[in-house]
Structure 1
Amino acid sequence: MAMAASTTEGEPMMDINTTPLIDVMLVLLIMFIITIPIQTHAVKLDLPVDTGQNTPPPVDPVKNKVVITPDNQVLWNGSPIDLVRLRQYLDITQTMNPIPELHLEPDGQARYDLVDRVLAVTKRAQVEKMGFVGNEKYAGAF
């Protein structure tokens, strides 16, 4: 280390001696490194194996689509269902957080009576987020 030359003899040195501070910091660093336990233990987990036969859940957490076909069949996300099962699925969606959207797409050739019954089921289930999809198909009907 370099020392500053003083001009007058007997005057006290005004610089701080940092050597003991560095020594103490190095000793503390070595103590921390030694006292940290080495992470050598392992946790054994039995993870599930994908069999490829898992079916997706019938209720999508983001959006669900109800289609009424021309042959008067109600489809929930592409799977045929009856009105009782529709009500069960709608009740499940209303308990989720956040509530998924319901997209209703009735075909132009479907019976109005069935569409009305589906709307009644959605009203009784108190669906909050619902929209009609495919209205552009009816633009030239009137």
Structure 2
Amino acid sequence: MAMSSGGSGGAMADINVTPLVDVMLVLLIIFMITAPLMTHKVKVDLPEANLEKKQDPLDTAPITVAIQDDGSLFWNDEPVTQEMLESRLSVEAQKVPQPQVNVRGDKTTRYRIVDEVVKTAQAQGMRKVGFVTIADREN
């Protein structure tokens, strides 16, 4: 607080607003300069979503390769050997469009066996290889 130089010797009740005005003028100048820069935006034409699923006549059903914990293989629930799996995958890889391969394994199947099947599918030319799981049940 400032002290008065008058004869009373008490504190002045006036507030010095000069520093407040200086700060407000600086903020006003900053906002006047930055406001036009913030309104300049790049115009982008976004694509519109079409939620209707079209049935493609060339779309093929996915192939399911099931693997049991003992290493036995199944092609769409039909038992196959490793050689039969390789030959069928090479035939399917030649199709246009190429079907997706879904690998389904037991909980107790070693990942080494699943990895061998995935590598076999990729070696035969299959581009879309995925895994099938079940969703957790919410209680």
Structure 1 length-normalised TM: 0.49
Structure 2 length-normalised TM: 0.50
